[in-house]
Amino acid sequence: MKKRLTVLATAMAVVTALTACGGSQPAATTAAPAETTAAAATEAPATTEAPAAETAAAAEESSEGKVFNIYAWNEEFKGFFEKYYTVPEGVTVNWIITPSDNGAYQQKLDEALLNQANAADDEKVDMFLAEADYILKYAGSDATQDVTALGVNDFSNTYKYTVQAASDNNGVVKGVSFQCCPSALIYRRSIAQDVLGVSEPDEVQAKLDSWDKFNAVAKDAKDKGYYMTASFAETYRVFSNNCTMPWVDADNNLQFDPQIEAWIAQTEDFINNDYTLTAGVWDDEKNKQMFADGKTMCFFGPAWYFNFCMGNAQDPEKGCSGDWAICEGPAAHFWGGTWLMAPAGTDNPTMLADIMNTFINDEEVCSALVANEAQFSNNQKVNAKFAEDESYGNEFLGGQNDVAVFSEMTDNIVWENHTIYDQLLNEGLQNQLQEYFKGSVDKDTALKNFYNYINETYPAINTP
């Protein structure tokens, strides 16, 4: 925590210096900050107490910007936004979409946010999307602002971890999520029947509710000619979400949580015994296992996973829609989720707040997200309504009420031990270890390559 505070303290001066000078002429920066810092200070409302900004926003509603710029990395939210949000008359919404490959989205966003104070009104970032893996980088910085000051105050129905995730160290909320992403064990009913002798969620859960049981069942699955999972990294999140310490300590030294070690040990075992494949979580090789002729019993994923990643399973000819079901699995965890963040310096604060309120508190919209889009909404009241509805069921899951299952799981999700480095550290570790699991390098070499990767990607982290 101490580290983060010092980071924040230095952030303003250095960041503005960079914006002014592009970081290329260090000699000149000494002169510039005085002026630009002042500009930034007036621009960025002091996060906790900004009555000035608030009243200004309320009073000048009509004089707000005519262009609303949203930064995103894909089209998912854009689809929902266009369907369920009515844009005020006279406002043009601009989507600036940059793919997240190799961190490209964050690079683009960072440039824009660092340049926010100098940008013309119509060029300013008015809202941006962020994922769980790097949300802290933005929520913990001065590039975002307090949403309660903008009029987003009612968090009574949102899930607690989604609010924590979007808050800085002082508990100031900087954004909201339109979805809640408890992640479940998604299994093939027919394969479970063959391997476990049961296929109903409660019974399957009873046989898979701990890692010991899970690992033992993997052997049974193998004996019957099945794979337990289809990717070496399939269980990564289930472990990493339950870490008891962050990736780096107070002095920025890299550290491996016992949960990460446990994942490596489990995967070594799974790979050596052919319980899983060496494919990555997003690879075709894994996705092919979702067809009807696939041999894999378990996948892990939240509500968005069904539509976003299980296209093969839903294929009308070769898929196996209806042969699936979900249960909590060995450990509670979440995966992903998209937060709508409030950038400091937006010239459309009212509309920004309106969008946020719509997607967390408008029951009609939240219901539509559940009913039409197979989302698990971030509104407990709406979700409860679906969970209790006897007639509600997901065809893909053989009529199972997934909202009810997800609702039960939410209480066990914790949000702690995150760093601004999580995304690329998680990704980098998986990528480097994949080479080890595929047998091209030994474990030691893979870890050393991971450290090299960190040195290049995050010079501030000290590697062993």
Partner 1 sequence: MRNNEESERGRLHLMITRIVVYAILIFLSFLCLFFFYMLIINSTRSNAELQAGFSALPQGHFIENFKNAWTDASINIPRGMLNSFIIASCTAVLTTYFSALTAYGIHIYDFKLKKPAFLFIMAVMMIPPQVSAVGFIQLMFKLKLTNNYLPLIVPSIAAPVVFFYMKQYMESVLPIEIVESARIDGASEFRTFNQIVLPVMKPAIAVQMIFSFVQSWNNYFIPALLLDKAEMKTVPIMIAQLRSADYSKFDMGKVYMFILLAILPVLIVYLILSKFIIKGVTAGAVKG
Partner 2 sequence: MSKPKKEIKGGNVSSGKWGYLFILPFFIAYTFCTLIPQLMTFYNSLFMNYRDGLTQVGPKFVGLQNYITLFTPDNSGSIGILKYFGNTIVLWLMGAVPQIVIAMLLAVFFTSYRLNIKGQQFFKTVIYMPNLIMASAFSMLFFTLFSPVGPVNQVLLASGWADKAIDFLNIKVSVRLLISLMNFLMWFGNTTILLMAGIQGIDQSLFEAAQIDGANSWQIFFKVTMPLLSPILVYTVITAMIGGLQMFDVPQILTNGRGMPNRSSMTMVMYLNNYLTTSKNYGMAGAVSVVLFIISAVLSLVVYSSLSKQYKEPKRHRKY
| Residue ranges in contact with partner 1 by CB under 8 A | 21-24, 73-76, 78, 94-101, 104, 108, 111, 288, 307-309, 311-312, 315, 317-318
Q: Indicate the DSSP class of residue 179.
A: B
143 binds partner 2 (CB under 8 A): yes
Q: Which of partner 1, partner 2, none interacts with 392 (beta carbon under 5 to 8 A by kind)? A: none
Q: Which stretch binds partner 2 (CB under 8 A): 71-79, 124-132, 281-289, 307-315?
A: 281-289
Q: Indicate the DSSP class of residue 27.
A: H
Instruction: Decide whether 332 or 429 has the Cβ nearer to partner 2.
Output: 429
Residue 136 in tokens: 């802290």
Place of tokens 């990607």: 457
Q: Which stretch binds partner 2 (CB under 8 A): 36-44, 110-118, 227-235, 313-321?
A: 110-118
In DSSP notation, 354-406 reads HHHHHHHH-HHHHHHHHHHH---BS-HHHHHHHHH-TT--BGGGTTB-HHHHH
Do residues 126 and 348 make contact, with C-beta atoms less than 8 angstroms apart?
yes
Instruction: Decide whether 2 or 156 has the Cβ nearer to partner 2.
Output: 2
138 binds partner 2 (CB under 8 A): yes
145 binds partner 2 (CB under 8 A): no
Taking the complex as a whole, the smallest distance from the CB of residue 82 to partner 1 amounts, in Å, to 9
Closest by CA position to 187, among listed 207, 204, 212, 165: 204
Q: Which of partner 2, partner 1, none interacts with 463 (beta carbon under 5 to 8 A by kind)? A: partner 2
250 binds partner 2 (CB under 8 A): no
- What is d(CA 194, CA 217) in angstroms, rounded to the nearest whole number? 12
- What is d(CA 10, CA 1) in angstroms, rounded to the nearest whole number? 15
Instruction: Decide whether 217 or 342 has the Cβ nearer to partner 2.
Output: 342
Q: Which stretch binds partner 2 (CB under 8 A): 153-161, 312-320, 366-374, 445-453?
A: 445-453
Q: Cβ atoms within 10 A of the Cβ of 223, count? A: 9
- What is d(CA 160, CA 382) in angstroms, rounded to the nearest whole number? 15
284 binds partner 2 (CB under 8 A): yes
- Given candidates 274, 285, 395, 411, which one binds partner 2 under the rule CB under 8 A? 285
Q: Indicate the DSSP class of residue 95.
A: E
Interface of this chain with partner 2, residues 67 to 106, rule: CB under 8 A? 102-104, 106
Q: Which of partner 1, partner 2, none interacts with 424 (beta carbon under 5 to 8 A by kind)? A: partner 2
Closest by CA position to 409, among listed 306, 299, 333: 333
Taking the complex as a whole, the smallest distance from the CB of residue 250 to partner 2 amounts, in Å, to 15
Instruction: Decide whether 11 or 97 has the Cβ nearer to partner 1.
Output: 97
Question: Residue ranges of the alpha helices (H) in 273-362?
Answer: 284-287, 303-309, 311-314, 349-361
- Given candidates 288, 295, 385, 443, which one binds partner 2 under the rule CB under 8 A? 288
- What is d(CA 78, CA 129) in angstroms, rounded to the nearest whole number? 10
- Provide the residue count of the chain: 464
SS3 240: helix
Q: Which stretch binds partner 2 (CB under 8 A): 82-90, 292-300, 304-312, 430-438?
A: 430-438
Single-letter amino acid code for the residue at 48: T
Taking the complex as a whole, the smallest distance from the CB of residue 214 to partner 2 amounts, in Å, to 25
Q: Which of partner 2, partner 1, none interacts with 39 (beta carbon under 5 to 8 A by kind)? A: none
Instruction: Decide whether 51 or 459 has the Cβ nearer to partner 2.
Output: 459
- What is d(CA 12, CA 20) in angstroms, rounded to the nearest whole number? 12
Q: Cβ atoms within 10 A of the Cβ of 215, count? A: 16
SS3 149: helix
15 binds partner 2 (CB under 8 A): yes
Residues 6+ apart with CB under 8 A from 231: 276, 277, 279, 280, 281, 283, 286
Instruction: Decide whether 34 or 56 has the Cβ nearer to partner 2.
Output: 34
Which residues partner with 176 through β-bridges? 340
278 binds partner 2 (CB under 8 A): yes
Taking the complex as a whole, the smallest distance from the CB of residue 120 to partner 1 amounts, in Å, to 10
Residues that bind partner 2 (CB under 8 A): 7, 10-11, 14-15, 17-18, 23-24, 26, 29, 102-104, 106-107, 110, 113-114, 137-138, 141, 143, 278-279, 283-285, 288, 420-421, 424, 431, 435, 438, 440-441, 445, 448-449, 451-453, 455-460, 463
